[in-house]
Amino acid sequence: MNTHRIAAIPGDGIGVPVTEAALAVAAASGARLEVTRFDWSCETYLATGAMMPADGIDTLRGFDAIFLGAVGWPAKVPDSVSLHGLLLPIRKAFAQYANVRPHRLLPGVEGPLRRTDFDILCVRENTEGEYSGAGGRVHVGTRDEVAVETAIFTRHGVERILRFGFEQARRRRGKLASVTKSNAQKHTMVFWDEMTDRVAADYPDIEVTRYHIDAMCARMVMAPESLDVVVASNLFGDILTDLGAAIQGGLGFAASANVNPERSAPSMFEPVHGSAPDIVGKGAANPLATILSCALLLRYALQRDDLANRVEDAVQKALDEGLRTPDIAAGEPSCTTDELGAAVLKHLSS
Ligand code: NAD
Ligand code: IPM
Ligand code: MN
């Protein structure tokens, strides 16, 4: 069996304990992993003036996959600095253009919706769009101040994320929802709709429906079972996947894979949630989103569906035992971060 080299960046806040829980699960998953930890975080920024060393991207390039906890500690470092110094450059430098975020309600977990039989795969464009970083400010601090942030949609970028979405739909239930706001944004979003039609011509077996982002938000709450693969731009996908997390029982369950489908550089795996400064140090963080991201690493980076399924089964068994961190407990929480992680480990090893 090959040894896979994993770079782990626990980052800030609850990123640290949930990454440790997930790495313990990864080590027991049956995959042969060699993990190298990098302590890059807001503390690194305060100590060195940068979130990661100047050769950080080059260092990561040599790994088979990257595992990340969370980045950001707004009380110490502005988010606009920390995220643009670590998380976002990795996604762009390694062409991790497909951000895959599954949303389904695990048996026994209580979500806020009446309908529980949904299984949505959000495919979020991850390298351009509203996150292109193109823009600037002039006349700063004066009454004439202007701020511009330009969304950039390239033919290459839009086509490749749509194709990725269609391929996922083919492996699932054959339905693709393309999300835009083409009734209001007449350049970029009309372009996206046109590209959807063009790519759809190569996938006559896939049922395609276009939705506007506002209507999609309502649909994810009112009729989530009607959705299969949902493809959206960077910002729309970001917002939809916190909504997806909410309907699956909370951010503590939402996993995420930043995939480079061509495998020309490492992919990165991380929970959807952030560093949660409001609960840090209390043992209250739910580690399952990160543990389930580890399952995505096994599935997408190592292509070991068998091991990913084992991890997901162990998560289910821990939930079946009744273990609940405070974020998902109906009443009194029954466990801490470490206890839930240990229960998943126990079921993985038994
Ligand atoms: P957040 O996701 O950190 O927290 C939102 C709410 O959800 C908080 O109340 C938090 O306690 C709760 N929560 C999140 N994850 C949880 C878990 N695993 N278990 C239990 N409760 C959980 O979002 P935020 O508060 O907007 O952001 C905090 C920081 O994290 C900011 O610096 C932000 O930019 C950053 N952030 C980073 C990432 C990332 O690294 N991928 C993602 C989102 C936010
Ligand atoms: C996410 C996060 C990031 C994003 C932030 C922290 C820049 O919210 O991964 O969903 O918007 O992509
Ligand atoms: Mn987000």
| Mutation test residue for ligand 2: of 87, 290, 293, the one with most atoms within 8 Å of CB | 87
Q: What is the DSSP string of 130-186?
A: EEEEEEEEESTTSTT-EEEEEEE--HHHHHHHHHHHHHHHHHTTSEEEEEE-TTT-T
Which helix (H) or strand (E) segment is 307 a member of?
helix 305-320
Q: Catalytic pick from 45, 64, 181, 211?
A: 181
| Active site (annotated) includes residue 320 | no
Q: What is the CA radius of gyration of the chain?
A: 20
Atom of ligand 1 nearest to the CA of 277: 28
11/133 Cα distance (integer angstroms): 22
Closest-CA residue to 4 (of 244, 242, 301): 301
* DSSP label of 225: G
181/239 Cα distance (integer angstroms): 14
Ligand 1 centre from 94 Cα, in Å? 24
Atom of ligand 2 nearest to the CA of 91: 12
229/242 Cα distance (integer angstroms): 16
| Mutation test residue for ligand 1: of 9, 235, 275, 340, the one with most atoms within 8 Å of CB | 275
| Mutation test residue for ligand 2: of 9, 12, 83, the one with most atoms within 8 Å of CB | 83
182/252 Cα distance (integer angstroms): 33
Q: Let me know if 78 is exposed, middle or buried by CB neighbors in 10 A (0-12, 13-18, 19+).
A: middle
3-state secondary structure of 4: strand
Q: Are the C-beta atoms of 26 and 18 separated by less than 8 Å?
A: no
Distances (CA, A) of 60 to 13, 21, 63, 89, 90: 22, 22, 6, 12, 9
pLDDT at 330: 85
Residue nearest atom 8 of ligand 2, based on CA coordinates: 238
Q: Are the C-beta atoms of 96 and 259 separated by less than 8 Å?
A: yes
3-state secondary structure of 41: coil
pLDDT at 172: 98
Closest-CA residue to 167 (of 282, 259, 105, 93): 259
Closest ligand to the CA of 19: 1
| Active site (annotated) includes residue 238 | yes
Atom of ligand 2 nearest to the CA of 235: 11
pLDDT at 331: 86
| Active site (annotated) includes residue 181 | yes
CB of 286 closer than 6 angstroms to any ligand 1 atom = yes
pLDDT at 350: 84
CB of 83 closer than 6 angstroms to any ligand 2 atom = yes
287/282 Cα distance (integer angstroms): 13
- Tokens linked to 284: 């209250």
Ligand 1 centre from 14 Cα, in Å? 8
Ligand 1 centre from 275 Cα, in Å? 5
Mean pLDDT by 10 residues, the chain (350 residues): 94 98 97 98 98 98 98 98 98 98 96 95 98 97 98 98 98 98 98 98 98 98 98 98 98 98 98 98 97 98 97 98 94 93 96
Which helix (H) or strand (E) segment is 231 a member of?
strand 229-232
| Active site (annotated) includes residue 242 | yes
* DSSP label of 75: T
190/195 Cα distance (integer angstroms): 9
Ligand 2 centre from 238 Cα, in Å? 6
Q: Catalytic pick from 131, 203, 211, 300?
A: 131
CB of 78 closer than 6 angstroms to any ligand 1 atom = no
CB of 280 closer than 6 angstroms to any ligand 2 atom = no
327/254 Cα distance (integer angstroms): 13
Q: Are the C-beta atoms of 39 and 10 separated by less than 8 Å?
A: yes
- Beta strand 229-232 with 175-180 is parallel
21/233 Cα distance (integer angstroms): 31
- Tokens linked to 113: 């919706």
pLDDT tens digits for range 33-75 = 999 999 999 999 999 999 999 999 999 999 999 999 999 999 9
Taking residue 73's Cβ as centre, other Cβ atoms within 10 Å add up to: 23
CB of 241 closer than 6 angstroms to any ligand 1 atom = no
Ligand 1 centre from 225 Cα, in Å? 26
Residue nearest atom 44 of ligand 1, based on CA coordinates: 274
HSE-up (13 A, CA, CB side) for residue 329: 17
| Active site (annotated) includes residue 203 | no
